[in-house]
Amino acid sequence: MISDKSRLRIGLIGFGCVGQGLYDILQQLPEFGAVVKRIAVKNPTKSRTLPADRFDFHADDLLTDPDLDVLVEVIDDADEAFRLVSTALRNGRQIVTANKAMVAHHLPELVELQQAHGGTLLYEASVCGSIPIIRTLDSYFGSEPLHSVGGLFNGSSNYVLSRMTEEGSDYGPALAEAQALGFAETDPTLDMGAFDPRSKAVILVAHAYGVLLNPDQVLNLGIENITAQDIRFAAAGGQKIKAVASLQRLADGRVTVFVTPQLVGPASPLYAVEREFNGVVIQAAFADAQFLRGRGAGGHPTGSAVLSDLAALRHGYRYAYHKHTA
């Protein structure tokens, strides 16, 4: 039995899909030894699954609470997330985030803040949901050269393309189905326009190659103009169209990063990754090809990545950025 004094005390900022997912996971895993002590949300009138007295409405109050061991930030607003996370790091706090846009746009600053003030930021949940890709690159492949890293980083666009392939339908009906099932947002631009996987690619290239990029430096072409005719053309050649993120070191040492619709054949492990699932292929210099597949979104899958970061923080883990030299 774990006593209350020995439990990891969590301040949770945001109680949407991921926040509720993490809370539910911790309720089912008392042996993990963590408790959500405070929850900060923005809207005091919104109906939620917990009593109203469980919520705070000023996230800044959690940033300076000495009774909290770690902060978990899982809100949608990237600008507000950066304000909260950067403030927490200046205070030397430990924090976990799932906000890929925030991390991608501010990673150089976030790395500098950790080095300057001694805080720790982990963000496994920001890329590919339940797939442990960031720590794999940062730790396991921290020293080994990588020829390429690529894959399907967005479950929404992959779902749409899967349904277009299965039904022979155009983009519009497949998108409408994805929205009705909750796999795509009402405004699908970030996912279908490949802005979301672009952010994830920017995060991964920092750990795979030590390169800190601005998302605007990365080419992203979405799937909005893919038609049923395009799908049939691919199928005629035994291929599928997938929205693939590609990170690659060229022979001259330069690194290229882009996200585009690509033709994928049966020889690729990405060929069989369908619907809301994500997949990542790592081509290492000595370990050769590695493939990871899992759910790329959802409360429990993404919450499991947050849980993993909480466990890592408990054991003093922080990203090493082994390949970043400047």
Known active-site residue 240: no
By the 10 Å C-beta count (0-12 exposed, 13-18 middle, 19+ buried), 280 is classed as buried
Helices assigned H by DSSP within 121-271: 133-135, 155-167, 171-180, 189-192, 195-208, 228-236
Tell me how far apart the alpha carbons of residues 133 and 309 are, in angstroms, rounded to a whole number: 12
Annotated binding residues for NADPH, written as ranges, equal: 100
Annotated binding residues for L-homoserine, written as ranges, equal: 185
User: End-to-end distance of the chain based on CA atoms, in angstroms?
Assistant: 47
Annotated binding residues, written as ranges, equal: 14-19, 100, 185
Strand pairing report for 70-73 and 8-13:
parallel
What is the DSSP code (8-state) at residue 57? S
Catalytic residue among 5, 46, 200, 240: 200
In the block, tokens 């050269």 appear at 145
SS3 68: coil
Tell me how far apart the alpha carbons of residues 15 and 140 are, in angstroms, rounded to a whole number: 32
Name the residues annotated as catalytic: 200
